Amino acid sequence: MTILVTGGAGLIGRFVVKELVEAGHDVVSADLVPPAALRPRESFERVDIGDAMTWTRLLTQHRPDAVIHLGAMITHTAHQAPVAACQVNVMGTAYLFEAARLLHRPRIVYASTIMVYGPPSAYQEPIVTEDAPLAPNTIYGATKAMDEAIAAHYRAVHGIEATGLRPTVTYGPKRYEGALGSINRGIRDAVLGRPVVWSQSFGRDVVHNPIHASDIARAFVRAAVGSYLPSPVYNMGGVETLSEDDILRIILEAAPQHGPLSHGPASPTPVSYMRADFSRFHRDANFAPTLSFHDAVKWAEQYYTDADFRASILGAPDTV
């Protein structure tokens, strides 16, 4: 199969590409920035996904069997540039679906977000299922809710095979800004024996079901190349329920070689969102995450200290 992956050089994208090429698929990696190196069976397209002609060209030229659409402006950049976020996140997704309707009908698996649900104060239930009403309170969450509406229209009216995944906190190397910054920097610095500077990014009352980028990548691949899933959208996260204090404690315990701990300024706009139930995807896709948070810190220790292992993830040697 030929799979088009937008955001192919990103946090989740590199793991998606790795999974696909190792399974024998041909991959077109599309992004604004190139990956560190191309893997065998991978080609690269520098693209602006907010441009309608981008999708016309990609689908006409490559005729992919499936599109894994990860490219987007993330939470903090969307907050800073809401108009650009609407153009990239909403119009980019609309252009993809319209091009699929007119030109070629690949299966489309796209990234939504758990932030379509909004804060816990909007709900009576402590944990929400996919059937709960959406109540985003960020620009990023609102753009992703609109993406879900677009996908639902093209699925129902035009028969496009479309599946959305709503990841919770997804962490992993190579993203050190935004709400994930403290988590990813904290893991990196702790396993390298550096001082750990922690800045609170989430509300004190918030608990997470964090999932490693390698696990969420497997979920996207399963949805794209496995049997077509019955639900239009799925919550997706890890099996552990952790507060931000729990996350910091596990990092320090799993990497006792860490340097001194200090606390930087907390985020002026701490992220808060609902806990979600992930059982529907686990059941329908026969899927389960493999890395606990503790094990992921140990995985990161190998990643940051073993150049060959790091190259196996990135596709090429890289410095830390």
177-236 pLDDT, tens digit each: 777 788 999 999 999 999 999 988 877 767 889 999 999 999 999 999 999 999 999 999
More confident residue, 67 or 174: 67
For the chain, what is the domain count?
Answer: 1
- Decide if 271 contacts 119 (C-beta within 8 A): no
Domain contains 199: no
Output the domain CATH number for residue 128.
3.40.50.720
Does the structure show a pLDDT above 60 at 319?
Answer: no
Domain contains 129: yes
Does the structure show a pLDDT above 80 at 94?
Answer: yes
- Decide if 15 contacts 78 (C-beta within 8 A): no
> What's the DSSP call for residue 86?
I
- Decide if 52 contacts 94 (C-beta within 8 A): no
Domain contains 63: yes
Q: Identity (one letter) of the amino acid at 101?
A: R
Domain contains 38: yes
| pLDDT of amino acid 320 | 60
DSSP reduced 3-state for 273: coil
Domain contains 202: no
Domain contains 25: yes
Does the structure show a pLDDT above 90 at 104?
Answer: no
- What whole-number percentage of the chain has pLDDT above 90? 74
Nearest to 130 by CA among 286, 287, 274: 274
| pLDDT of amino acid 41 | 92
Q: Which domain holds residue 100?
A: 2-175+211-238+272-291
Domain contains 249: no
- Decide if 155 contacts 161 (C-beta within 8 A): yes
| pLDDT of amino acid 270 | 67
Domain contains 41: yes
